[in-house]
Structure 1
Amino acid sequence: MAEEQAAEEATEGGKSKKKMIIFIALGAILVAALGAGGAFFFLSGNNEEAAAEVPAEPVRQAAIYTKVRTLEGKPSFVATLQSNDGKRHYMQAFVEAKSRDQAVADALTLHMPLIVSRLNALFASQQFEALQSVEGKQQLRDASTELVQSILQEKIGKPGIEMILFTNFVMQ
């Protein structure tokens, strides 16, 4: 009987040591997790303050493309170009104005007859030879942009458009 009690105490001591090791290991893991969480919380700082310090980038509005055309809806400009070779040359261009403000698009529509008239005069004053190069077409596009911006500056008090685009450009 004494031997049985000694055997029971030995097995109970082995089980209690295993339980104690498990509890110590779980406690150590818990302490490590709490320490890591606390370190992350204190070292990361307050995200709201960081967001307030960095100025937000302005949101760019979507581009609005307005077709520049006559009131009858004719979508293209056709102009007779000046030429040094004595032949008649023609230019056809489909034109759009790029803006980011609906009020500017409305102003373009309102003043379309004036814009079309001035662009026709600009296109008719061009030299055929100059427009044969990419640089010549770019200069015409820039001149068209400046012309429309000056009209809008006069009518609505701001240039309004970013640029004039030629969506189709043909010469013969």
Structure 2
Amino acid sequence: MAQDNAVEDGAAGKSAKSGRLMMVAAVLLALLIGGGGVAAFFMFTGSDTAPAGGDTAAPVVKAKALYTKIRTLEGRPMFVVTLASDDGKRHFLQTYIEAKSRDQEVVDVLTLHMPLIVARLNALFSTQKFEQLQTMDGKIQLRTEALELLQGILQEKAGRPGVEALLFTNFVMQ
């Protein structure tokens, strides 16, 4: 009887192993067929066929973004201004700013006219109210006003706005 149980256990073990082997083989076969189908799809729908209009327009590639730190001639990378406040206390704003453009000529104009840019941004920042800048809407509005100011200077000096974004890389109020 013990020998009969051992024979049955051995047969069950072989059966379980072959069942696992069959399952692994089925999964691999399904992956192979699926991968082949995907490869065939991409091969037959590739870019070998011309568009219906016959035009072969090149894809639009944006130029690499160039970031210019807005800083004083002494190299101070930050703006520090005193903010107006309703509570009678003295509050300060410290911010670092970078201008994003995609043209080296714009970067050169920014560098050339940096004193003018710094002076006008300082004037803009020092007119802000502390309570307004505590909200996200206030910060977004300030960034929009600063971008418009910067684009106005570039329009005047270079004949085009040139800067697509103004980024506050640091914004601390106290």
Give TM-score scaled by structure 2 length: 0.70
Per the TM alignment, residue 130 of structure 1 is displaced from its structure 2 partner at its CA by 0.3
- Corresponding position: 1:61 with 2:98: no
Question: What is the 5 A alignment of 1:18-167?
Answer: 47=48, 49-50=50-51, 53-167=55-169
Letter in 2 for 1:50: P
Between the aligned partners of 1:110 and 1:81, the Cα distance in structure 2 is 29
Between the aligned partners of 1:88 and 1:112, the Cα distance in structure 2 is 28
Decide which structure has the larger Cα Rg and report it: 1
Letter in 2 for 1:96: E
Letter in 1 for 2:85: S
Between the aligned partners of 1:117 and 1:164, the Cα distance in structure 2 is 16
Between the aligned partners of 1:131 and 1:145, the Cα distance in structure 2 is 16
Letter in 2 for 1:108: L
Per the TM alignment, residue 171 of structure 1 is displaced from its structure 2 partner at its CA by 0.2
How many residue pairs end up in the alignment?
Answer: 129
Between the aligned partners of 1:54 and 1:126, the Cα distance in structure 2 is 52
Residue in structure 2 matched with residue 32 of structure 1 by the alignment: none
| Higher fraction of helix | 1
**SS in structure 2 at match of 1:151:** helix
Per the TM alignment, residue 160 of structure 1 is displaced from its structure 2 partner at its CA by 0.4
Per the TM alignment, residue 91 of structure 1 is displaced from its structure 2 partner at its CA by 0.1
Between the aligned partners of 2:172 and 2:56, the Cα distance in structure 1 is 49
Per the TM alignment, residue 55 of structure 1 is displaced from its structure 2 partner at its CA by 2.4
**SS in structure 1 at match of 2:171:** strand
Letter in 1 for 2:164: E
> Cα RMSD between the aligned structures?
2.0
Residue in structure 1 matched with residue 37 of structure 2 by the alignment: none
**SS in structure 1 at match of 2:164:** strand
| Structure 1 residue runs without a partner (length 5+) | 1-42
Percent same amino acid among aligned pairs? Answer: 60
Q: Which whole-Å deviations, capped at 9, do the CAs of 1:99-143 have from their partners, x for residues lacking one?
A: 000000010000000000000000000000000011111110111
**SS in structure 1 at match of 2:130:** coil
Between the aligned partners of 1:57 and 1:118, the Cα distance in structure 2 is 39
**SS in structure 1 at match of 2:67:** strand
**SS in structure 2 at match of 1:90:** strand
| Structure 2 residue runs without a partner (length 5+) | 1-43
